[in-house]
Amino acid sequence: MERRAASRVALHAPVIIRWTDAAGARREDVGRTRDVSTAGAFLTSHASLPVGTMVSLDIHLPPLERNASQPVRLHSTGKVIRTTEKAKQTGFAVSAPFTLRDDVRMD
């Protein structure tokens, strides 16, 4: 039975992941999206984050128009809800609604 609240779209884009570790240190890693929806994303990275970790995400997309120089960034804050591990990469699903960054102009 499908439990997702929103449809997923395959998207392979760079993402910056920020979180606070168990010791209280602020951490950051770069990963890639595997898929996204309006309610979250599945990401791969070298960081291994436990379920329940609160994360801040910035997904970097190419410009929406061919001759535009302004890239697009989706931003979200959410929680790791599932993890998987394969070889040297860790994958995890994040439940988080996405919004366009305020500093991105949409002309």
Separation of alpha carbons 99 and 107, rounded Å: 17
Q: CATH number, domain at 44?
A: 2.40.10.220
- Quick one: which of 62, 2, 65, 57 has its CA closest to 33? 57
Q: How many domains does the chain have?
A: 1
Give the per-residue pLDDT at 105. Answer: 43
pTM greater than the 0.85 cutoff: no
Low-confidence ranges of the chain (pLDDT < 50): 1, 102, 104-107
Residue 4 within any structural domain of the chain = no
Domain assignment of residue 87, given as a range: 9-96
Residue found under tokens 């951490």: 27
Torsion angle (degrees, nearest 10) of CA 78, 64, 13, 77? -10
- Quick one: which of 55, 44, 57, 51 has its CA closest to 87? 44
**pLDDT by residue (tens digit) across 23-41?**
999 999 999 999 998 889 9
Residue 30 within any structural domain of the chain = yes
Residue 72 within any structural domain of the chain = yes
Longest dimension (CA), the chain: 45
